[in-house]
Amino acid sequence: MNVRLAIHICCICCLAANALAQEGSPTRGSTQVSLPESDDGLPGVGPIRRYDWFQKLWESKRSAWAGRVAQDQQALVFLGDSITQGWGDDLGGNFEGVKVANRGISGDTTRGMLIRLDADVLSLRPSGVVILAGTNDLEEQATPEQVVQNLSLILAKLQQHDSDMPVVLCLVFPSSSSKQRPADKIKRVNELARVAARKFEQVTVIDTWTLFANDQGDAKPEEFPDLLHPNQVGYAKWAGALRPILATLGFHETSTPPLDLEPGFESLFNGQDLTGWGLRPTSPTMIEQRARWRSKQPNAPPWPIIKEALDLSGETTSPDGRYVAQAGRLIVTTPIEGRRIQQLWTTREFSQDFVLKLQFRAMPNADSGVFLRGRQLQCRDYALAGPYKELQRYRPGDWNELEVRVTGNSAHCTCNGELLEEALEIPDSGPIGLEGDRGQIEYRYIRIQLAQR
């Protein structure tokens, strides 16, 4: 064996052994890990499960993982409970080309995940971590505050380990009061989790509650047959919610296939940087809107106010990182405070008739908009955020084609060929704009055909 490789593997094994020792759990031999016999001295608050079946599962899972520490180095780690475990070792093959490690244990609570974080996650030196946690705490009568206290400790530990490592926090899925997981408590956990996540710049929150909840806030039987665990339909929706943010974080989709421009069209976005785009001074109307938002969210970070126009030609990001040109996509990133209204504009204005085409992909419940000479056309995750919830061809979590045909002061707008607006009234002249509001939305293949004067 190569000497350097042998030393590297030895160091990894030492890291794993140290992690096991630090958590205070007794070990059998060099690989088996047992559940601590008492809560005394353990970090976190709230329940730790100790049913016989759970203790056996805890030990068997963790013993197997201890033998894979070298093999799973630099993986994207999924940390969770039975919902995560049930996805399988390769997460159903949903993330092709991404090295993944499933660290879900059926029945685990947030405190249990905190206890095993060093050995099961950090010893892998992960490239990123995806977390879904908290539903079992509620069944064990933990308060939402206790759940989020443990989540906060997990996030703090991940930050201490590597402040640049991306972390994706999935909101707790809906369930049912019949499963001792009532909608009001789940919503409270998610509300507190959003606030807690604001303290960590590396954390992206995905609204996986709205993705699955019915009108009463409970799980849908067609996606969660037992009202707790997703079936293949549910897992497919979860994967669809994760793929866009994992692409933005650089785990996959590191390039965009080239597009052959239709005759007469020109690109408004070169796919490499923000040439042709810029920021305009914040309008008085926008300042007033932000003030109303701040009155409801006094602890949220302040929204930036643009005092002078800024041309972003040659730049790959806006100054605050909200707009990013990456791998052929113009990304409106998720604001850390959950919602932040901002606008990016073309440096050109358009007064003649035109046809605008682009593709967009939205995270669950994301909210954006396309401005047509200054008039906004809502561009969102239509299925959840509306206003066009009845579209039959809209593809959640996937790319959708928006087409706008402007004649005079009227815009005919479609999504995947379905009508959005028959005749949206727009100004005589103005730029094309992209708004960021809530969640992440990506744009690509932004192109325009101008009518001959």
Q: Are residues 131 and 71 in the same domain?
A: yes
- In a shared domain, residues 228 and 282: no
Please state, as a whole number, how many other Cβ atoms lie within 10 Å of the Cβ of residue 311: 13
In angstroms, the CA 190 to CA 338 distance is: 12
pLDDT for the residue 299: 67
Which residues 6+ apart lie within 8 Å of 252 measured at CB? 95, 96, 97, 98, 243, 246
Residue 313: closest CA among 340, 351, 278: 278
In a domain, 189, yes or no: yes
318 and 425: one domain? yes
The answer to whether residue 255 sits within a structural domain is: no
**Residue at 257 is within a domain:** no
Q: Would you state the structure tokens that stand for residue 121, as one six-digit string?
A: 């996650």
Last residue of a domain, one of 186, 216, 248: 248
pLDDT of residue 32: 55
**Amino acid residing at 93:** G
Q: Is residue 350 one of the residues assigned to a domain?
A: yes
Domain match, 168 and 23 both: yes
How far is 144 from 133, CA to CA, in rounded Å? 12
Determine the straight-line distance between the first and last CA of the chain, rounded to whole angstroms: 73
What's the confidence (pLDDT) of residue 9?
A: 42
Q: Could you give the C-alpha distances from 18 to 23, 50, 131, in angstroms and in order? A: 9, 24, 23
Give yes or no: residues 335 and 389 share one domain: yes
pLDDT value at residue 288: 78
What SS3 state is found at 449? Answer: strand
Residue ranges in the chain whose pLDDT is less than 70:
1-32, 293-294, 297-302
139 Cα distance to chain centroid: 26
Shared-domain flag, residues 210 and 272: no
Q: Does one domain contain both 49 and 150?
A: yes
Same domain, 239 and 318: no
**Would you state the pLDDT for residue 34?**
86
Q: Are the CB atoms for 354 and 406 separated by under 8 Å? A: yes
Coil, helix or strand at residue 310: strand
The answer to whether residue 63 is domain-embedded is yes
81, 175: one domain: yes
Cβ atoms of residues 326 and 237 within 8 Å: no
Range of the domain at 429: 265-450
Query: Considering the entire predicted model, what is its pTM?
Result: 0.90
Same domain membership, residue 138 and residue 65: yes
State the CATH number of the domain containing residue 129: 3.40.50.1110
- For residues 172 and 138, what is the distance between their CA atoms, to the nearest angstrom? 11
Domains contained in the chain, number:
2
Single residue among 222, 248, 274 that ends a domain in this structure: 248
Q: Which residues contact 289 (CB under 8 A, 6 or more apart)?
A: 341
Phi, psi dihedrals of residue 279, rounded to the nearest 5°? -110, 140
